[in-house]
Chain A
Amino acid sequence: MSDLNAFRHETRDWLEANCPPSMRESTQGGEEMCWGGRNFEFASEEQKQWMERMGAKGWTAPDWPAEYGGGGLDKAEHKILKEEMARINARPPLSSFGIWMIGPALLKFGSEALKQQHLPPIIRGEIRWCQGYSEPGAGSDLAGLQAKGEDMGDHFIANGQKVWTSYGDKADWMFCLLRTDPDAKKQMGISLVLFDMETPGVTPKPIKLISGSSPFCETFLDDVRVEKDQVVGDINHGWTIAKYLLTHEREMIGGMGMADVGSETMGQIAARALGVDQGRMNNPLLRAEVAKWEIDGACFALTAERVTDEVKSGHGVGATSAMLKYYGTELNKRRFETLLKVNGSDAMVWEGEASNQGWLPRTWLRTKGNSIEGGTSEVQLNVIAKNILGLG
């Protein structure tokens, strides 16, 4: 216990000394997130400092092994770090698909050489990753992917088209699913490979969304050389790793259902926007809608907590990630529909203070993708029906 106390004090002192003042101010939504990478434009010198200092300490990936540059913290220490960061309202130093997705997959399935090569730059925020999974003809039916890697002995030559590559135009490396054995059964014959986005033949093109933003790309692969030592796990056995990563992704997207909209609750936002008379919000039907959302939101947050506690106590049911993804994303869509109604016509303008410079309409439109990406709501319901309920 005294060790943990000492750790808390050291952590507190270190954060006090190293977290720049501007990195302790709240941001709205995704503004000013730090993604790192070769070409990242930092919003400020302090943002860069914060990422680099935390990266050097390994605290951008606190529970990864220290031998790869991670923090090497155990659960109790990790919890303390989170608490101490929350105490001073410190922003996440780095948002990264490397840390969230390919890193955990490398730790679990990657060769020692791949871990040594890729994990340290991920932790330091030097390399930004993107995911090459979906294709125009392989969305919900991901295993139907057609981008192929032709075996050339010590390397593959990749051809095909990937779509919904998050920040593909800004990323440095891609983790990508290729069909490396055209004769094998659907799920067999798929490999998970890694390559540099600067490799000749890789062309990402941004896709403009209904929100006007372009967080995704379609990525064309024309005779791209992929070294065989950049295959994660065994050749033709990438589907298992892909599924593992999808589970991760589901949990990540499902968790967004409870992400805060700034520092106010839905009820506070609505009460401010609609006015309160004699203790009750004006507009009884919207008041009910807001209250019902908050009730469901509270139940969902408790469920995420319970699932975590059950896993910790060894009673985990892994398949619940499908439920959290399904319910969390539907809840997030509902939240923004209600926020839209609560703010009236102010919510629908692209610019100006009323819509927070278009943040609300853009975010609202973006949420429509939550129940599509990472497996649609309908796919999640299929997973629940088949894997949990045993309905064939």
Chain B
Amino acid sequence: MALVLNEEQQMLKESAQGFLAEFAPLAELRAQRDAGSETGYADSLWGQMVDMGWAAILVPEAYGGLEFGHVGMGQIVEQTGRTLTASPLFATAVLGVTAIKGAGTEEQKTELLGAIAGGEITTALAVDENAHHAPAQISMTAVKQGQGYSLNGAKRFVVDGGTADKLIVAARTSGEAGDIKGISLFVVDATAAGIEVERVAATDGRNYANISFNQVEVAEAALLGEEGQGFKALSATLDAGNIYLSAEMLGMAQESFERTLQYLKERKQFGVLIGSFQALQHRAADWWSQIELCKSVVLKALQAMDESHKRVPALASIAKAKLAEVAELSTNEAIQMHGGIGMTDEYDIGFFIKRARPAQTLFGDNSYHTDRFAQLSGY
């Protein structure tokens, strides 16, 4: 497949641009933060996104979705990186849909995917248990009890964990931490008895939570996929998550670059525009080149998911490693080239670095994915 957008994908990108500029610009993030919002977005935003069809893009037509594909969805998520727009789009329409589509029974898909597409429920994916991404290290347990399971353990830094209606939880039905086998996925009501949610306020002002599970009783029907075989679907969901985080970071990298480039053309020192200094020109040119590389790998990874290509895991790690590196470079250079004003809260450029680091870290940072790429390559 050619590495270019087709007409429909291009149109979706432009419509996302227009929508976000009107309803969720960067100023909205600032307003939400100043108002002490616990989600980082206005209550009305998700309903509008659902009306645009965004919740249904990855849902198959058979379950009431649009089945528009990953390249299209990637364009929207990239644009949300430019505006730093928080919403349930990632945790629900990407992670929730991918996990349920990949592992769910016919009944689960019919019920849950339809409800997601219609904006009736939101989801959150609860995987990691400590500060570093390590999906095989899961030690939370799910013990068979009567006709169901009893869940015990704690999850950290769950995206949308404080607001989601359904939690998709990775727990161990056998084996021990480090084993790939024995991990099972469950869909649990967030209101179930024994669940305690503690909101975590992070640098990006978004909605994270630490969640503990104490003797949480769930029915057998809560099991997503086969018992003990959840790692495959979990991995595929994490690959998708990492590719979409890469798309979001691509948006952030481009936006912080373009804002900085504009500043280089406005700011005068020593009587001239600072963009006339070769020391800054070369750094800007290298930075721009790095972003060009990022555009290619993100598009390729999105296309690979649409084709269910066998290289999706490797491409997910390549994309995440590269985008984490360039998001870090971009947000650091943005502040440095803005100089003192870049350090002020009043100026918007500082919002990018505070969103970039959680996005880099979530589901594995640059070092995690460089290591994973090496393993996938046989060394």
CA distance A361 to B375 in the complex (A): 29
User: Is A291 a contact of B293 with CB atoms below 8 Å?
Assistant: no
Q: Is A185 on the interface with B (CB-CB < 8 A)? A: no
CA distance A276 to B282 in the complex (A): 40
Measured between beta carbons, the chain B residues less than 8 angstroms from A292 are 321, 370
Which A residues between 126 and 180 are near B, CB-CB below 8 angstroms?
none
Which A residues between 336 and 392 are near B, CB-CB below 8 angstroms?
378, 380-382, 384-386, 388-392
Binds B, one of A76-84, A109-117, A189-197, A293-301: A293-301
Q: Is A310 on the interface with B (CB-CB < 8 A)? A: yes
Residue of B at shortest CB range from A280?
B379
CA distance A306 to B297 in the complex (A): 9
User: Is A290 a contact of B374 with CB atoms below 8 Å?
Assistant: yes
Number of A-B residue pairs at CB separation under 8 A: 126
User: Is B293 a contact of A296 with CB atoms below 8 Å?
Assistant: yes
Q: Is A323 on the interface with B (CB-CB < 8 A)? A: yes
Q: Is A287 on the interface with B (CB-CB < 8 A)? A: yes
Q: Is A315 on the interface with B (CB-CB < 8 A)? A: yes
User: Is A384 a contact of B3 with CB atoms below 8 Å?
Assistant: no
Q: Which of B289, B296, B321, B379 contacts A302 (CB 8 A)?
A: B296
Q: Is B35 on the interface with A (CB-CB < 8 A)? A: no
User: Is B377 a contact of A385 with CB atoms below 8 Å?
Assistant: no
CB distance from B300 to the nearest CB of A (A): 5
Binds A, one of B42-50, B60-68, B102-110, B273-281: B273-281
Q: Mark A273-307, 1 if CB is under 8 A from B, else 0.
A: 00010011100000110111011101110110110
User: Is A313 a contact of B4 with CB atoms below 8 Å?
Assistant: yes
Count of interface residues, chain B, beta-carbon cutoff 8 Å? 38
Count of interface residues, chain A, beta-carbon cutoff 8 Å? 45
Q: Is B285 on the interface with A (CB-CB < 8 A)? A: yes
User: Is B288 a contact of A391 with CB atoms below 8 Å?
Assistant: no
CA distance A281 to B282 in the complex (A): 36
User: Is B322 a contact of A385 with CB atoms below 8 Å?
Assistant: no
Among B285, B288, B294, B371, max chain A CB count under 10 A is at B285
User: Is B275 a contact of A327 with CB atoms below 8 Å?
Assistant: no
Q: Is B19 on the interface with A (CB-CB < 8 A)? A: no
Measured between beta carbons, the chain A residues less than 8 angstroms from B321 are 292, 295
Q: Is B264 on the interface with A (CB-CB < 8 A)? A: yes
Knowing A267-B377, A281-B379, A381-B281, say if A392 contacts B288 (CB, 8 Å): no
User: Is A381 a contact of B373 with CB atoms below 8 Å?
Assistant: no
Q: Is B295 on the interface with A (CB-CB < 8 A)? A: yes
Q: Is A271 on the interface with B (CB-CB < 8 A)? A: yes
Measured between beta carbons, the chain A residues less than 8 angstroms from B4 are 306, 309-310, 313, 315
User: Is A287 a contact of B2 with CB atoms below 8 Å?
Assistant: no
Measured between beta carbons, the chain A residues less than 8 angstroms from B288 are 323, 384, 388-389
CA distance A267 to B322 in the complex (A): 18
Measured between beta carbons, the chain A residues less than 8 angstroms from B276 are 391-392
Measured between beta carbons, the chain A residues less than 8 angstroms from B261 are 389, 391
CA distance A281 to B292 in the complex (A): 31
Measured between beta carbons, the chain B residues less than 8 angstroms from A64 are none
Q: Is B378 on the interface with A (CB-CB < 8 A)? A: yes
Residue of B at shortest CB range from A385?
B281
User: Is A295 a contact of B292 with CB atoms below 8 Å?
Assistant: no
Q: Which of A290, A294, A315, A384 contacts B285 (CB 8 A)?
A: A384
CA distance A385 to B284 in the complex (A): 7
CA distance A279 to B280 in the complex (A): 43
Q: Is B265 on the interface with A (CB-CB < 8 A)? A: yes
Knowing A267-B378, A385-B285, say if A302 contacts B322 (CB, 8 Å): no
User: Is B3 a contact of A302 with CB atoms below 8 Å?
Assistant: yes
Q: Is A243 on the interface with B (CB-CB < 8 A)? A: no
User: Is B265 a contact of A295 with CB atoms below 8 Å?
Assistant: no
Which A residues between 55 and 90 are near B, CB-CB below 8 angstroms?
none
Measured between beta carbons, the chain A residues less than 8 angstroms from B183 are none
Measured between beta carbons, the chain B residues less than 8 angstroms from A389 are 261, 281, 284-285, 288
Measured between beta carbons, the chain A residues less than 8 angstroms from B77 are none
Q: Which of A281, A290, A391 contacts B265 (CB 8 A)?
A: A391
Measured between beta carbons, the chain B residues less than 8 angstroms from A303 are 292-293, 295-296
Measured between beta carbons, the chain A residues less than 8 angstroms from B285 are 326, 380-382, 384-385, 388-389
CA distance A380 to B285 in the complex (A): 9
Measured between beta carbons, the chain A residues less than 8 angstroms from B34 are none
Knowing A280-B375, A303-B292, A392-B273, say if A312 contacts B281 (CB, 8 Å): no
Name the prevailing secondary structure of the A interface residues.
Answer: helix
CA distance A338 to B370 in the complex (A): 16
Q: Mark B283-307, 1 if CB is under 8 A from A, else 0.
A: 0111011001111110110000000
Measured between beta carbons, the chain B residues less than 8 angstroms from A288 are 367, 370-371, 374
Residue of B at shortest CB range from A302?
B296
CB distance from A341 to the nearest CB of B (A): 15
Measured between beta carbons, the chain B residues less than 8 angstroms from A267 are 374, 377-379
Q: Which of B289, B373, B374 contacts A323 (CB 8 A)?
A: B289
Q: Is B318 on the interface with A (CB-CB < 8 A)? A: yes
CA distance A378 to B279 in the complex (A): 11
CA distance A294 to B314 in the complex (A): 11
Among A270, A281, A385, max chain B CB count under 10 A is at A385
CA distance A384 to B378 in the complex (A): 37
Q: Which of A270, A295, A310, A382 contacts B281 (CB 8 A)?
A: A382
Q: Is A320 on the interface with B (CB-CB < 8 A)? A: yes
Q: Which of B264, B280, B295, B370 contacts A295 (CB 8 A)?
A: B370
User: Is A381 a contact of B282 with CB atoms below 8 Å?
Assistant: yes
Residue of A at shortest CB range from B367?
A288
Which B residues between 182 and 225 are near A, CB-CB below 8 angstroms?
none
CA distance A357 to B273 in the complex (A): 54
CA distance A392 to B265 in the complex (A): 9
CB distance from B222 to the nearest CB of A (A): 35
Measured between beta carbons, the chain B residues less than 8 angstroms from A299 are 293-294, 296-297, 318, 322
CB distance from B26 to the nearest CB of A (A): 23
CA distance A306 to B321 in the complex (A): 20
Measured between beta carbons, the chain A residues less than 8 angstroms from B278 are 382, 385
CA distance A299 to B292 in the complex (A): 9
Q: Mark A90-117, 1 if CB is under 8 A from B, else 0.
A: 0000000000000000000000000000
CA distance A384 to B282 in the complex (A): 9
Q: Which of A291, A388, A390, A392 contacts B371 (CB 8 A)?
A: A291
Q: Which of B2, B294, B322 contacts A313 (CB 8 A)?
A: B2
- CB-CB nearest 9 A-B residue pairs: A385-B281, A384-B285, A302-B296, A306-B3, A299-B293, A381-B285, A291-B374, A303-B296, A309-B2
11 other A-B residue contacts (CB within 8 Å) besides A288-B370, A313-B2? A276-B378, A299-B318, A309-B3, A381-B286, A384-B289, A385-B281, A386-B281, A391-B275, A391-B281, A392-B273, A392-B275
Between-chain CB contacts (< 8 Å), 7 pairs = A291-B370, A299-B296, A303-B296, A306-B3, A385-B278, A391-B276, A392-B275
CB within 8 Å of A: which residues of B?
2-4, 261, 264-265, 273, 275-276, 278, 280-282, 284-286, 288-289, 292-297, 299-300, 318, 321-322, 367, 370-371, 373-375, 377-379
